[in-house]
Amino acid sequence: MTAVADARAASAPADGRAPVDGHAPATRAARRRAPAAALDRPTVSFELFPPRDVDAAPRLWATVRELEAAEPDFVSVTYGASGKTRETTRALVTRLLRETTLNPIAHLTCVGTSRAEVAAVVEEFLDEGVRAFLALRGDPPAGQADWQPHPEGVATAAELVALLREVEQRRCAGSPAQAVRARVRPLSLAVAAFPRGNQATGGTRQQDVQALLAKQEAGADFAITQVFFDAEAYLGLVAEARRAGVTIPIVPGIIPTTDPARLLRVQELTGVPVPRTLLDLLGSVDDPLERHRRGIRAGVDLVRAVLDGGAPGVHVYTFNKHEAALDLLDGADLRGGRPAAAVPTTSTEPAGDLAVGPTPTPAR
């Protein structure tokens, strides 16, 4: 079983607490009954971010239930700059553990926090039964041009990975029972990778490969890439990483390419250029349904290209909206739960805002 597949088992609830809606028994049964065929398919995963307000919560949970039916291997939950969504992230991850069949990975950053503060946050997640993290350095807080490590904190994602391992080892050393549980459900750690180099730090792809190697040596199990729009960017990163000694799986991060405004916003935030041909393809039609279809076809082509090139699966940035994400999986015949539609048709979800969660812009 690959490290990515391990994450699917790593986040099962640690206790027998039943949620108020009674989903726990089905959750446990579903995790036990993974069909053999599912182990051979490419991994599928999604990114979610905590609801920004009370009104957004019902929409998010409607999306969660739709994504759940696709039987993803895991979902990642973002963690705002400077830990500003710490409580809402933990609440969402905990609810996903207790009330769904989904396996959450909690994003974690080290911006503006000491080692002791980060360790305390990790302990909180572990106490809730979380067994998988996406370790990110994090971006500078709003209004701060350059990233500055906390004087008593960690400076890189590799150091954060090492700290996570230290916390787990300390817990196991202090409790034989915890040591047994850790053997049954090992801690799974993901990190970020950058097909075009880390634009936030001005790093080249070669520098990012060296950073990825350091994350692997610190204890990372697999990587998820920043958004990209051409398969060669991903395939080139993987080839260069393998030559440098990186052996962990590298999962491509894919954004549904259906909304030109969102694509331009992603470009602004990440520095990753959106191909003019893609913008022209989407902008040359006024019909929103046709624009959606064109965007899905472009996304499907990208997914197929990276899978044909050896990618272990795909991680879809959903922006807390399910329709385009599921249409993308349908087009690539990757839907796990229900038969895939032959041709994506329409999007009925509201346009919402253009906010981008931390994963499309992860920092070293």
The predicted pLDDT at position 86 comes to: 76
> Which pair of structure tokens corresponds to residue 111?
């911006």
> Which pair of structure tokens corresponds to residue 344?
């994506």
Among 47, 159, 168, 323, the active-site one is: 47
Look at residue 260 and tell me if it is in a domain: yes
Judged by phi (left if over 0) then psi (alpha if -120 to 50, else beta), residue 320 lies in left
Look at residue 52 and tell me if it is in a domain: yes
- Give, to the nearest 10 degrees, the angle between helix 157-174 and helix 176-184: 130
- Whole domain around residue 74: which residue ranges? 3-331
> Which pair of structure tokens corresponds to residue 156?
């890189």
The predicted pLDDT at position 218 comes to: 98
Look at residue 215 and tell me if it is in a domain: yes
Look at residue 363 and tell me if it is in a domain: no
The predicted pLDDT at position 205 comes to: 87
The CATH number linked to 154 is: 3.20.20.220
Judge whether 47 counts as a catalytic residue.
Answer: yes
Look at residue 280 and tell me if it is in a domain: yes
The predicted pLDDT at position 154 comes to: 86
Look at residue 148 and tell me if it is in a domain: yes
State whether residue 301 is helix, strand or coil. helix
Look at residue 359 and tell me if it is in a domain: no
The predicted pLDDT at position 112 comes to: 74
Q: Which long-range contacts link 24-27 to residues 24+ away (Cβ below 8 Å)?
A: 24/98, 24/99, 26/101, 27/98, 27/99, 27/100, 27/101
Residue 305 near residue 13 (C-beta atoms within 8 A): no
* pLDDT, mean of each 10-residue run, the chain (364 residues): 51 40 40 54 95 90 96 92 72 95 94 87 94 86 63 85 97 94 95 85 84 98 97 97 98 96 92 94 95 97 98 97 96 68 37 40 49
Task: Give the pTM.
Answer: 0.83
The predicted pLDDT at position 123 comes to: 95
- Number of domains into which the chain is organized: 1
pLDDT tens per residue across span 266-311? 999 888 999 999 999 999 999 999 999 999 999 999 999 999 999 9
Tell me which amino acid residue 254 is: I
The predicted pLDDT at position 355 comes to: 38
Look at residue 313 and tell me if it is in a domain: yes
Q: List CB contacts of 257: < 8 A, sequence separation 6 or more.
A: 229, 263, 278, 282, 295, 296, 298, 299, 302
